[in-house]
Amino acid sequence: MRRPLAALTFVLVCTACPASKADIAMGEQIVQLGDGLNDMRQDNAAIQEQIDSLRTIVAKQDTVIRQLANLAGVPLPR
């Protein structure tokens, strides 16, 4: 009877112990990793937005060049 009671007491004491410095440091690193990941996602979204904008500009310029070439009678390769 004493042995199971001692084991139960030991388990309860161990689970009630505060987190060690290593656990706290690991938790902080995980939070920092998550923040870094979110920053990278935001940067990726901004870059993708710029790429989409540049594609639109290039498409408009291509259309203008084709129209000018057509008016000048200059054949353009496709």
pLDDT, tens digit, 9 for 90 and up, residues 27-71: 999 999 999 999 999 999 999 999 999 999 999 999 999 999 999
Give the torsion through C-alpha atoms of 23, 28, 32, 33, to 10 deg: 10
Q: Please say whether the beta carbons of 76 and 66 come within 8 A.
A: yes
Task: Give the C-alpha separation, 52 to 64, whole Å.
Answer: 19
* Total of domains in the chain: 1
Q: Please state, in angstroms and rounded to a whole number, the distance separating the CA atoms of residues 78 and 76.
A: 6
In a domain, 11, yes or no: no
In this structure, is residue 78 part of a structural domain? Answer: no
Confirm whether 63 is domain-assigned: yes
More confidently predicted of 68 and 2:
68
77 touches 67 (CB < 8 A)? no
State yes or no: pLDDT of 16 exceeds 70: no
Question: What does residue 44 show for φ and ψ, rounded to 5 degrees?
Answer: -60, -40
Domain range enclosing 69: 26-73
Instruction: Identify whether 5 is part of a domain.
Output: no
